[in-house]
Structure 1
Amino acid sequence: MNIENLDNILKDEPRYRLKQVKEAVFRDLIDDWFQASNLPLALREKLNEECPLGIKGKISKSDDKKTVKTLIELDDGLKIESVLMRHGEGEEKRNTVCVSSQAGCPMACKFCATGEMGFKRNLTASEIIEQVLFFARTGNKISNIVFMGMGEPFLNYENVMAAVRVLNDEDGLNIGARKISISTCGVIEGIEKLADEKIQLNLAISLHAPDGALRSELMPVNKKYPLEKVLDAVDDYIKKTS
């Protein structure tokens, strides 16, 4: 899927066409453009050719079925993991998707299996959105999103934020900003950028140690971004966004 290409494909179409397309993808959750019967046949054919909606995912479930993991194969053959986590019942029920932002990860945290893979590449905004759509298409109403999967989100800042804007858009999946969380291992520039965004998301910090010495041993990133400076950046973030 290549959501980024939609504007180019629809450039000669009436202005209302983009809204129709978004409704088909994010509300009707189609997986083939021919299912979008409100679009002209020629446009559906073009969209299927230039922006196919198929997502290759293999599912595995926990014994209690509250956690569902999928391994998604990207167009270039790389594979990423996403997880659906079900919490609560009734009005308290939440379906949270944990998404990846990179294929592999360059941070090399000692406790993380993804870090052992090394870094392959950043995911596009579409590849991030696909992970949420995959679970939405299986009949799960997605209520929350957490960027806590493979990769460091702030090292792919522009694509992560582009995906967030689509997921938050009322013509997209319409997920509230306060129900979207970005977790970082402490990339200070990313924390500072997020503080200046007009959209107020939740920020989570991956600490994994009570002091700088142990954190440096477990997380090499602490040598570039020491814990005390990360916490200072968090204080500034809170002041700007509270």
Structure 2
Amino acid sequence: MEFKVENGDGIDSWKEVTLVYSAALRQMETKMQILNDEFQHVHQYNPIEHIKARIKTPESIVKKLKRYGQESTIDNMVKYINDIAGIRIICSFTSDIYRIADMIRDQRDIKVIAVKDYITYPKASGYKSYHMIVSIPVYLSDRTVDTKVEVQIRTVAMDFWASLEHKIHYKFEGDAPENIKNELVECARMVSDLDARMLSLNEEILAISKKREEEKQLNSGTSK
């Protein structure tokens, strides 16, 4: 992935980085909204509750490059930082997470680079989410730029927990007291239990609705 540099201070390059990654995010958001609308049309159900998108700040990028032992250059940020563009997809149930991931994989112009399944294999902290690094083409006037986007897919409950954990992490600069860490792990277990119970409840509701619809159609056919 190459960016034009029209002067030595890198300002034009940074502008182009922002332009390309912002375009990649808009494309991903549009794709997800279209898939969600189609799912509603076919199945009368929306797997996606809402979508959040963001471009990583220059300060965060520089900090991450330093952790990686790399110089703060445009080339290095594009090469080593996979989450410059990030999109978070929030859904209702855990089953939706894998359904959405499959829909993303099935897009012909999206290439899946890496996957981390923190749903099946949660972090020690209790963190759960499904992460994908994908590449999507951004079509400019004179070339096509394959651009990396990090996709996070999680339930509403997982997102609530992750938001609190993130705030605590920065509040204590990554060194929270042990009792708070333990409490977070316990809360993560409660979130998992809640997700499982809500999924089970939804499946029961769907089964009842299907049975009633079948009975209605049967009674309608008998009365003719």
User: Normalising by structure 1, what TM-score?
Assistant: 0.25
- The structure that is helix-richer by fraction is 2
With structure 2 as the length reference, what TM-score do the two structures score?
Answer: 0.26
Task: Please identify the structure whose Cα radius of gyration is greater.
Answer: 2
Structure with more contact order per residue of length (Cα contacts < 8 Å, sep ≥ 6): 2
